[in-house]
C-alpha cells in the first residue's frame, strides 16, 4: 500500500496476499472466499516452515 497507494497499481498487482485477504473479507464481505485464502496461506506458510526446519537440521535425532 505504501508503494502503490490505495489502488494497488495496475491490475492491483502490487498488493500482497494478506492485503487481498483483508479487502476480500472486510470490503467485499466475501467471508467464505477470504477464509479459503487464509487456509491456503496458512498451509503454504506451514509447508515452507517445515522445509526450512528440515534443511537447517532442526529435526536431528541425537
Are the C-beta atoms of residues 20 and 31 closer than 8 Å to each other? no
Question: In this structure, is the dihedral angle defined by the CA atoms of residues 16, 28, 32 and 11, taken in order, positive or negative?
Answer: negative
Please count the structural domains in the chain: 1
Helix and strand tally (H, E) in the chain?
Answer: 2, 0
What is the pLDDT, as a whole number, of residue 8? Answer: 67
Is 20 within the bounds of a domain? no
Is 8 within the bounds of a domain? no
Is 22 within the bounds of a domain? no
How many angstroms separate the CA atoms of 46 and 27, rounded?
27
Residue span of the structural domain in which 47 resides: 32-61
> First and final CA of the chain: distance in angstroms?
47
Q: Read off the pLDDT of residues 7-62 as tens digits, 9 standing for 90 and up.
A: 666 766 777 888 889 999 999 999 999 999 999 999 999 999 999 999 988 877 76
Is 54 within the bounds of a domain? yes
Cβ-proximal residues to 6 (8 Å cutoff; 6+ apart), any chain = none
Is 6 within the bounds of a domain? no
Is 45 within the bounds of a domain? yes
Amino acid at each position: 500500500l505504501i508503494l502503490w497507494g490505495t489502488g494497488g497499481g495496475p491490475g492491483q498487482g502490487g498488493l500482497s496476499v494478506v492485503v487481498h485477504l483483508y479487502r476480500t473479507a472486510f470490503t467485499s464481505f466475501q467471508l467464505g472466499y477470504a477464509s479459503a485464502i487464509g487456509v491456503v496461506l496458512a498451509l503454504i506458510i506451514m509447508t515452507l516452515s517445515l522445509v526450512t526446519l528440515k534443511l537447517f537440521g532442526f529435526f536431528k535425532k541425537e
